[in-house]
Structure 1
Amino acid sequence: MRYGIKTLLLIFTLSFLIGCSRLPLSSNKGKLTTIAFYNTEKLFDPTNDPATNDDAFTPEGAMKWTTEKYDRKIQHIAKAISRIGSADGPAIIGLSEVENKKVLNDLVNSAPLKKQKYNIVHYETADEQGLDVALLYNPKQFKLISAQPLKIDYGRGNYASRDILKVTGNLLGQPVTLFVNHWPARERTRRGLQDDRRLRAAAATLRKEIVALQTSNKDAKIIVMGDFDAEPRTNVMQQVLKASGRPNPYYTDELFNTFFMHYVNGLGSYYSRGDFKMLDQILISKSLIDGEGLEYVRGSAKIHDPEELKFLYGKYKNTPLSTFSGTTYFGGYSDHFPIYIKVRKVKK
């Protein structure tokens, strides 16, 4: 099992809960606001783009990706987003595996999301699959200041993958910086071992940005979200990125991984080889748990997994109802569940 010896797990859990006891109790005042992330599982449009590797996702391609299937996918993803966290959906949601601005426009203009009038932040990247990350936000709650893609230097010839999306703005009138990630998969060595150098390059790039923000302003409010292709207890997350399950505000340079305990308890957003994996995570700076200004609501981190997003029968019962398995079309939502946290503005 991933957790190791049960006794060690118990000791760790008790230590974590002791750390949690140091957190300030969240005020009952202030409207809760949802921040989410969703890996949409290859959200391609059906039009062939010579500049991207999307040949399989065309009507003539291996996936037989027709307009009808695309429209159904858009409606599914929009419906899932509209119900995350509250009846109004999230104020901010990071997305991964989206092909282009067109699919994002189709998404925000679909019936389940149109009333929210989401704005879009998106940049085309050099990803070999032609899939990007993006951010949707409700302009009534988040005011955009700036956005930029952060290139990752992999130091490996011509290899390129998705950029990290950096967005700054005011959430509920409070300044915040958001990073949307979808890190590349590990390589395999000639001996069949996993090589995590690509993940380490992405983590080092992000860590450098965080250090710069905290050097400029030690109280900077930072929210990091994404599919990291690495679980919370891996070295790349804990040692390189410095994201831990320790909420104690004393360790100001660390990020608090709001999904650490989900991992410890065997939960996950993605299902592979008979086991749930906690690949999708939301991390926050310790300044979001000190009870001043914008505050993370303790215990609000959730995996959004209603029945409609799951296989309900058979071998994959209760796992994400995906669009495809290989080239077999299931017509579902995504092979990942969305995740979310809640924040509020603390009234002094």
Structure 2
Amino acid sequence: MATKYFKKKATNLHTVAFYNLENLFDTIDDTKTLDDDFLPDAEKRWSIKRYEKKITKLGTAISNIGFACSGKAPVIVGVAEIENRKVLEDLVASKHLMNKHYGIVHYNSPDERGIDVGLLYQKEHFELLHSESITVLVYNDNGERDYTRDILWVTGRLHGEEIHILVNHWPSRRDGAASTADKRIVAAEKNREVIDRIREGDPEAKIIIMGDFNDDPSCESVKEHLVQEDLFNPMEQLLTKYSGSLNYRNQWNLFDQIIFTHNFHRYEKGKHSFSKAAIFDDDFLKIYKGRHKGRPFRTYSGKRYKGGYSDHFPVYLQLKLN
């Protein structure tokens, strides 16, 4: 009886995830992007063997996100830090994902490092209706444009229910959190513009905003400029002194977040409702010993090859199909 109950429960829960893949570059030189660190003859020695190992590891990680509760791989996965569509094609063709029949949504971003965002979706569960790339215009102190990642807007039907998804990777903190905060506020406000556009067509639209925001849930960009009365951020409760999605200088952060409209709290037959949110930080994704024990098992630490998955843990929601 217990087994039958689990199977029935598993069919009703569906995972929506986001994962920063930590510089998923191929080994081919692209003269239009700054990919020189990730070539076989570069100091990092980014070889085909290392690339294929990372692809396999990421496929293993993705296939397990939310599996313990849902009994299946995620139906939707937003991703960041990918070089191009080809790396996503290799990822969905890897041995742990190849039988999941993931579709891909990807556009080239103007980011100076050549990294983009993308979306994977299981075709069995999600029907793609529309996608477009939304430019985020930010500028440096001298008035020059700082080329950052576009927002990916995807609309589709999840088990027949129309859902809008915005995938983000906001401007980084590399020049300091305070000095770059305004750029992330601009990115938050651009999301609000897209949300308004969606609402003009459908005031009751179900919307999911996900990404690496390079800010925590409590930061101004997220808490004041993105999450207003119409949105709910379940990630706000997940960041603690002892856990997050990334660790920098012995401090946990939760830059990776998934936020959604309040109508996911509503129970309607044949529609999806929010069940839970979590950080996927199973032990196999962690450094298992030493002073960094428990942190994400990353591919590189500086120029030192570690052979891990990513410097971020994935985050996810589980939606119940009522």
* Paired position in structure 2 for 1:138: 122
* Paired position in structure 2 for 1:128: 112
Q: CA deviation at 1:256?
A: 0.5
* Paired position in structure 2 for 1:295: 272
* Preserved CA contact (<8 Å) 1:175 1:221: yes
Question: How far apart in 2 are the matches of 1:188 and 1:52?
Answer: 20
User: AA paired with 2:252?
Assistant: F
The root-mean-square deviation of aligned C-alpha atoms, in Å, is 1.7
Following superposition of structure 1 onto structure 2, how do residues 326-341 of structure 1 map, counting pairs within 5 Å? 326-341=302-317
Describe the SS at the equivalent of 2:244.
coil
Distance change in 2, residues 1:235/1:266 (3 Å):
farther
> 1:316 aligned to 292, 303, 309, which one?
292
Per residue, is there more helix in 1 or in 2? 2
Following superposition of structure 1 onto structure 2, how do residues 238-257 of structure 1 map, counting pairs within 5 Å? 238-242=223-227, 251=229, 253=230, 255-257=231-233
Deviations 1:120-171 (A, max 9, x none): 0000111110010000000110000010000012144232111000000100
Q: CA deviation at 1:344?
A: 2.1
> 1:211 aligned to 176, 196, 215, which one?
196
* Preserved CA contact (<8 Å) 1:187 1:196: no
Q: CA deviation at 1:62?
A: 2.0
Deviations 1:232-275 (A, max 9, x none): 011111111125xxxxxxx4x2x111111002565310011101
Question: How far apart in 2 are the matches of 1:211 and 1:105?
Answer: 33
* Paired position in structure 1 for 2:4: none
Question: How far apart in 2 are the matches of 1:154 and 1:334?
Answer: 27
* Paired position in structure 2 for 1:229: 214
* Preserved CA contact (<8 Å) 1:187 1:194: no
Distance change in 2, residues 1:264/1:65 (3 Å):
closer
Q: CA deviation at 1:345?
A: 2.4
Following superposition of structure 1 onto structure 2, how do residues 41-120 of structure 1 map, counting pairs within 5 Å? 41-86=22-67, 87-120=71-104
Q: CA deviation at 1:306?
A: 1.2
* Preserved CA contact (<8 Å) 1:163 1:181: yes
Question: How far apart in 1 are the matches of 2:38 and 2:97?
Answer: 24
Describe the SS at the equivalent of 1:144.
strand
Describe the SS at the equivalent of 2:209.
strand
* Preserved CA contact (<8 Å) 2:233 2:259: yes
The sequence identity of aligned pairs, in percent, is: 38
Q: CA deviation at 1:341?
A: 0.6
User: AA paired with 2:77?
Assistant: I
Where in structure 2 are there 5+ consecutive unaligned residues?
1-8
* Paired position in structure 1 for 2:184: 199
Q: CA deviation at 1:110?
A: 0.9
* Paired position in structure 1 for 2:260: 284
* Preserved CA contact (<8 Å) 1:294 1:343: no
Instruction: Report how many aligned residue pairs link the two structures.
Output: 307
* Paired position in structure 1 for 2:145: 158
* Paired position in structure 2 for 1:169: 156
Describe the SS at the equivalent of 1:302.
strand
Describe the SS at the equivalent of 1:178.
strand
**Superposition misfits of 4+ residues, deviation over 6 angstroms:** none
* Paired position in structure 1 for 2:5: none
User: AA paired with 1:65?
Assistant: W
Deviations 1:188-211 (A, max 9, x none): 47xx95331110111110011112
User: AA paired with 1:101?
Assistant: R
* Preserved CA contact (<8 Å) 2:65 2:280: yes
Q: TM-score, normalised by structure 2?
A: 0.91
User: AA paired with 1:297?
Assistant: F
